[in-house]
Structure 1
Amino acid sequence: MTISKDKVVSVIYELKTDPTGEIIEKAATETPLTFLCGAGQMLEKFEANLMGLKVGDAFDFKLETAEAYGEASEQAVIELPKNIFEVNGEFDTEVIKEGNVVPMQDSAGRRMNGIVLEIADETVKMDFNHPLAGDDLFFKGEVIEVREATEEEMKAAYAPQGGCDSGSCDSGSCGSCSC
């Protein structure tokens, strides 16, 4: 069976942002990346590079920045009022620290992660760019499973997700649903 739309795919891989650089993410045999192909869970070009492969096939490809998470955007760096980070009337110093990644939601209910850049008297400056924005991505791996999706998997993948658009949520891939 080959990889095509609505097949459940499991792959193992190493991800680098430089072909000779260090591995920044790895999906091993014990913890493969598994997804429903074509359901918008992965980067479009990631899936396109896997189409037609079958179990045992190796892959080695590059996604240009524009095909991955795009360039980092200054508009994704914003200052938020400090009071939105209060718990029981107190600023949450346990979670809101420079360098911490904080899960949040936008006004439309989409989940996203923000990195705390700076804490000022009245505001918190956060960066909502994807951690891999501005990077080319180099994937090298192998297909370890391709199978038909169950009815439950199809329903779960294509059902409306309470305001969370599947392309914006992070899971375990690339830090997160990344790829």
Structure 2
Amino acid sequence: MPIEQGDRVRLDYVGRFEDGTVFATSRPAVAEKHGLLPPEEGDPAPLSFTVGANEVIGGLDSAVVGMVAGEEATARVPPADAYGEHDPDRVREYDPESFEAMVGEPPEIGTHVEAQNDLHGDVTAITDESVQVDFNHELAGRTLVFDIEILNVESAQR
């Protein structure tokens, strides 16, 4: 039966950018090949979610509708259906002293920070006068391409 809203699906995926760079995968061999296996974590696992329950990005959620177990497809997901466009208003600047007082450590490019309002950001630039923190999702503004294989479907109709 084709996948419908409310069905629970389990799938393998390879997520890549339009230039072919792999950024995430559930396939261990692909993760190893592309250096995506952090030493402290185990092998990646298939992704499971309920279709239409906002558990994954909208473009991936809608891409599986109509597919069946065993089917493979490639889904191209524009920013609007993924993590949104990059919003320049979500890039903030702090003076280095204020940043260090808030975060508890000196700024370094790539440092991940969590603001009191639950925003997460990364330090993207540092000068003598300012520290720039980007609070956009790291995949904002990117078109994402997913190669997916439906492994299992649990119908909501049962």
With the shorter chain as reference, the TM-score category is: 0.7 to 0.9
Structure 2 unaligned runs (5+)? 29-43
Question: Following TM superposition, by how much is the alpha carbon of 1:26 offset from its aligned partner in structure 2, in angstroms?
Answer: 0.9
Distance (whole Å) between structure 1 residues aligned to residue 128 and residue 102 of structure 2: 13
1:15-164 matched pairs, under 5 angstroms: 15-18=15-18, 21-28=20-27, 31-80=45-94, 81-82=98-99, 83-85=101-103, 91-93=104-106, 96-106=107-117, 111-119=118-126, 124-147=131-154
* Structure 1: runs of 5 or more not aligned: 86-90, 150-179
Check conservation: 2:3, 2:155, Cα contact below 8 A: no
SS of match in other structure, 1:60: strand
* Superposition deviation, residue 55 in structure 1: 1.4
User: What's the secondary structure of 1:24's corresponding residue?
Assistant: strand
> Partners in 2 of 1:103 and 1:55 — Cα distance?
39
Per the TM alignment, residue 68 of structure 1 is displaced from its structure 2 partner at its CA by: 2.1
Question: TM-score, length-normalised on structure 2?
Answer: 0.72
Identity of aligned residues (%): 29
Give the distance between the partners of 1:101 and 1:35, measured in 2 at CA: 27
Q: Deviations over 1:156-177 (max 9, x none)?
A: xxxxxxxxxxxxxxxxxxxxxx
Residue 74 of structure 2 contacts residue 146 of structure 2 at CA under 8 Å; is this kept in 1? yes
The offset of 1:35, in angstroms, is: 1.5
Q: RMSD of the alignment, in Å?
A: 2.5
Deviation per CA, 1:87-109: give whole Å up to 9, x if none: xxxx324xx52212234452xxx
Q: Give the TM-score normalised by structure 1.
A: 0.65
Residue type at the aligned position of 1:14:
V
Deviation at 1:77, TM superposition (A): 0.2
Write the distance in 2 (CA, Å) between the matches of 1:123 and 1:72. Answer: 21
